Amino acid sequence: MDTCPLCALPHTPGDLAWSSQHEPDGGVFWICPTCTRAQLWLIEAGMTIATRHAPAPPLPRAA
Ligand SMILES: [Zn+2]
């Protein structure tokens, strides 16, 4: 059974709230809704890294 790689929550097949993530080597893993929200910027960074330009991860702006 697939589990969330971040919190080890078991993935219920067909649960559309989970996000499928494709690795560069062709593998696929699933991230639970809670971790999807927490790691959203990482996911976006990962998708962007696949392009020619890899921007620095977002940093909190100092007030
Ligand atoms: Zn999780």
Q: What is the pLDDT of residues 11-62, one digit of tens each?
A: 988 888 998 888 788 888 888 999 888 877 766 776 544 444 445 556 677 6
pLDDT in the model for residue 52: 46
Residue 6: Cβ-neighbour burial (10 angstroms; 0-12, 13-18, 19+): middle
pLDDT in the model for residue 8: 92
Contact 47, 24 (CB under 8 A): no
Q: Domain total for the chain? A: 1
Question: How much distance in Å is there from the Cα of 59 to the middle of ligand 1?
Answer: 23
Average pLDDT value for residue range 6-11: 91
pLDDT in the model for residue 53: 45
What is the C-alpha separation between 41 and 59, in angstroms, rounded? 10
- The verdict on residue 61 lying in a domain is no
Q: Which domain holds residue 1?
A: 1-8+27-53
**Stated pTM of the model:** 0.56
End-to-end CA distance of the chain: 45
Per-chain residues with Cβ under 5 A from ion ligand 1 = 4, 6-7, 9, 32, 35
